[in-house]
Structures are given as structure tokens and as C-alpha cells.
């Protein structure tokens, strides 16, 4: 499908982003990457036009959870009210294992918190290149275990626990789910994976017509993979979950991806592999949607429908 099929506002945004300082990490120097990591996404009216506003009726607070090598920042979304029996959802943020813009998912995660309803905890894992693979993987596992042990302190019910993530965070989410299966839990009721990179071994992907993908270009894919893996083996299933020998026993899974995302084919392959392993799996390809589209709800029309599919999936598996 040609990129010109995208909505006008999506095309304009995809063209503009690489021209904004800090808009893309592709080809950036180590000094520039460090500068970008220090500068969080600013919460301004213009920013909110692009990423969307958090839903009223949800308290958003910053706290900490335990990681594999010390405390990690976390952002908690709790629907208004005094209920302490809500399920818990841990979200692992995207950014190519390198960036961390924590407010980018306020729009989605506040809706998950209020509509499921659930307590949502977004974890800020360690990032490359300072902390290369598998540091983020071990942080994800440690954070899930910590929430499983201390969920009551967060105002939720740790016996009803789900994991979700977007982009690189979805990679970490499904890898952590498999490692928790092998390391004694806690058990997960669901995994929600938004456009995950699941195979880091092959050539960078392009659109079916061979054109460059908006947001996740060839150069961006190479840059993120190199910064994250360093000299590590990309076929390690902790990096490429599609290559894991055993996917049985993973929780029911929702996969979402856009048809203009170069990861679309790999997401389809992962869905097929999960189904062959007996994992209940739902995979949805959204039309006229780019990589990361749930972080850009103001410029990608498909984001709203995708958000409610996420809510519906979590409701079904986390109901008391």
C-alpha cells in the first residue's frame, strides 16, 4: 500500500517529525543521543494536540518500582475512587530501547485505567547505549515480579496481573512473560503487544511496495538495533522472541500493528507462532496506521478504535 493512502494529517506529521530537533534518533551522534535522553518530552498544548490528553477521572502519580539493579521510575494511573480490588496492568514504554518519553502514553493508559478499570503502572527501564541488552529485559522481569509481590501497595489486586507494551516495550513485555513462565511467575492473565519488534536477526523491513516507512525508517531500525544489542547475538530469544523454541503457556495475547508499519509482517509471523503453540491470540492490522500510532492519537485516526480494542481485551481477561 502506498504511503499516500495515509490521512493528510498523518502524512504531514510523518514528514515533519524528522525535521524537528530530537524528532528522530536515526543517524544521531552519541552526544546527541545522550542529550535526547536527558530531555523528556515537554507537556505543552502543541504536544498534546499530537499525543492526546489524559482522560479525566484518573489520578496520575510518579513513583518507583524495583528493577534488576536498583529502583526504576514508574508512572501510576489510578481511576478515581477508593477501590483496592482493581486488576493491575504493567506497561513497558517504547522508544527503541533508547528513548523514554513517559507522557506519550498518558492518553492510552489513562483510558485503560478508567475503562477496564485497572491500576496501570508504566515502568521506566534502563536504556541503551549506557545499559545494553539484556539490562532492559531483566528490569522488565524484576518489575513484574515486584508488582506481583507488592501490588496491594499500588492499590490493586496482584492476583489479576497483565503486561502490555508499545514497540520496544512490547518486545520486552512478551520476553518477560516467557521468562516469568520459566522462573515461577507471577502468572499473567493477558499480554497486550502494540507493534512489537519480534525478530532482530534479519534485514531491516520496508513496506510491501519497497518504500520507506514513516516514523520507523531503515536508518532508524539499524540505529536502534545497534544501540540496544551492541555485540550481542540478535538471535537470542530474549532479543528476538519470535525465535524462542517454546511459546507454550504464554497468556492470551492481543497484537496490534499498522499496515504502514515495517514490522507488520513480523507481527503476523509472531501471531501465527503463538497460535501454533496453543496461545489464544488476536491480531489486528489497522488501516492507514504508522508505527507507534497509539502514541500519536491526535494525528492517526485509527488510534481511538485501537485503544478500545485494548480495553476490551483487558476487560475480558481481568474481570473479577
The rounded distance, in Å, linking the Cα atoms of 11 and 3 is 8
Where does 9-69 show beta strands of DSSP type E? 58-67
Determine whether 295 is an active site residue.
no
**Under 8 Å between Cβ of 79 and 86:** yes
162 close to 136: Cβ distance less than 8 angstroms: no
Residues with Cβ within 8 Å of 284's Cβ and at least 6 positions away in sequence, in order, are 254, 255, 256, 257, 306, 309
Segment 56-76 mean pLDDT: 95
Comparing 74-83, 143-152, 170-179, the range with the smallest average pLDDT is: 74-83
Q: Provide the pLDDT confidence category of residue 211 given band limits of 50, 70 and 90.
A: low
pLDDT on residue 45: 82
Cell of 246: 517454546
Q: Is 80 exceeded by the pLDDT of residue 33?
A: no
User: Residues 119-165: pLDDT tens digits?
Assistant: 999 999 999 999 999 999 999 999 999 999 999 988 899 999 999 99
Helix/strand/coil for 122:
strand
Examine the residue annotation and report whether 233 is marked as an active-site residue of this protein. no
CA nearest 60: which of 80, 40, 37? 80
The confidence band for 208, taking pLDDT boundaries of 50, 70 and 90, is low
Which domains are assigned to the chain?
3-318 (3.40.50.1820)
Mean pLDDT of 230-234: 96
Residue 316 has pLDDT above 80, yes or no: yes
Tens digit of each residue's pLDDT (9 = 90 or more) over 251-269: 999 999 999 999 999 999 9
- Scan for cell 518477560, then name that residue: 176
Q: Point out which residues pair with 254 in neighbouring strands.
A: 192, 282
What are the start-end ranges of the H helices in 39-188?
Answer: 45-51, 106-115, 135-150, 168-182
167 assigned to active site: yes
Q: Rounded to two decimals, what is the model's pTM?
A: 0.93
Polymer length in residues for the chain: 320
Residue 22 is predicted with a pLDDT of: 61
CA dist list (Å): 197 to 15, 97, 102, 174: 23, 11, 20, 10
91, 125, 260, 291: which one is catalytic? Answer: 291
The residue annotated as part of the active site, out of 261, 266, 288, 297, is 261
Question: Per-residue pLDDT tens for 84-112?
Answer: 789 999 999 999 999 887 888 999 999 99
Note whether 87 and 118 are within 8 A (CB): yes
Question: Residue 177 has what pLDDT?
Answer: 98
Task: State pLDDT tens for residues 253-311.
Answer: 999 999 999 999 999 999 999 999 999 999 999 999 999 999 999 889 999 999 999 99
Averaged pLDDT, 181-192: 96
Task: Write down the catalytic residue from 106, 139, 167, 288.
Answer: 167
Amino acid at each position: 500500500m502506498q504511503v499516500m493512502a495515509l490521512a493528510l494529517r498523518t502524512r504531514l506529521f510523518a514528514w515533519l517529525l524528522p525535521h524537528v530537533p530530537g524528532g528522530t534518533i536515526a543517524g544521531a551522534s552519541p552526544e546527541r543521543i545522550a542529550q535526547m535522553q536527558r530531555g523528556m518530552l515537554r507537556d505543552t498544548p502543541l504536544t498534546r494536540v499530537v499525543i492526546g490528553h489524559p482522560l479525566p477521572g484518573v489520578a496520575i502519580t510518579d513513583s518507583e518500582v524495583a528493577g534488576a539493579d536498583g529502583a526504576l521510575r514508574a508512572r501510576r494511573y489510578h481511576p478515581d475512587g477508593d477501590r483496592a480490588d482493581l486488576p493491575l496492568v504493567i506497561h513497558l514504554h517504547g522508544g527503541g530501547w533508547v528513548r523514554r518519553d513517559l507522557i506519550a502514553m498518558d492518553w492510552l493508559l489513562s483510558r485503560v485505567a478508567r475503562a477496564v478499570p485497572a491500576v496501570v503502572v508504566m515502568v521506566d527501564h534502563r536504556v541503551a547505549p549506557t545499559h545494553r541488552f539484556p539490562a532492559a529485559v531483566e528490569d522488565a522481569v524484576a518489575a513484574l515480579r515486584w508488582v506481583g509481590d507488592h501490588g496491594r501497595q499500588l492499590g490493586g489486586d496482584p492476583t489479576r496481573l497483565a503486561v502490555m507494551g508499545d514497540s520496544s516495550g512490547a518486545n520486552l513485555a512478551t520476553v518477560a512473560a516467557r521468562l516469568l513462565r520459566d522462573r515461577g511467575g507471577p502468572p499473567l492473565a493477558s499480554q497486550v503487544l502494540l507493534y512489537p519488534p519480534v525478530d532482530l536477526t534479519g534485514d531491516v523491513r520496508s513496506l510491501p511496495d519497497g518504500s520507506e516507512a514513516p516514523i520507523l525508517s531503515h536508518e532508524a531500525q539499524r540505529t536502534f538495533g545497534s544501540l540496544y544489542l551492541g555485540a550481542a547475538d540478535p538471535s537470542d530469544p530474549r532479543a528476538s522472541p519470535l525465535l524462542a523454541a517454546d511459546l507454550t503457556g504464554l497468556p492470551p495475547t492481543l497484537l496490534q500493528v499498522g499496515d504502514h508499519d515495517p514490522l507488520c509482517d513480523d507481527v503476523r509471523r509472531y501471531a501465527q507462532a503463538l497460535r501454533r503453540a496453543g496461545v489464544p491470540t488476536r491480531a489486528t492490522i489497522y488501516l492507514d496506521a504508522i508505527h507507534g500510532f497509539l502514541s500519536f492519537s491526535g494525528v492517526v485516526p485509527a488510534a481511538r478504535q485501537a485503544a478500545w480494542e485494548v480495553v476490551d481485551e483487558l476487560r475480558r481477561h481481568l474481570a473479577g
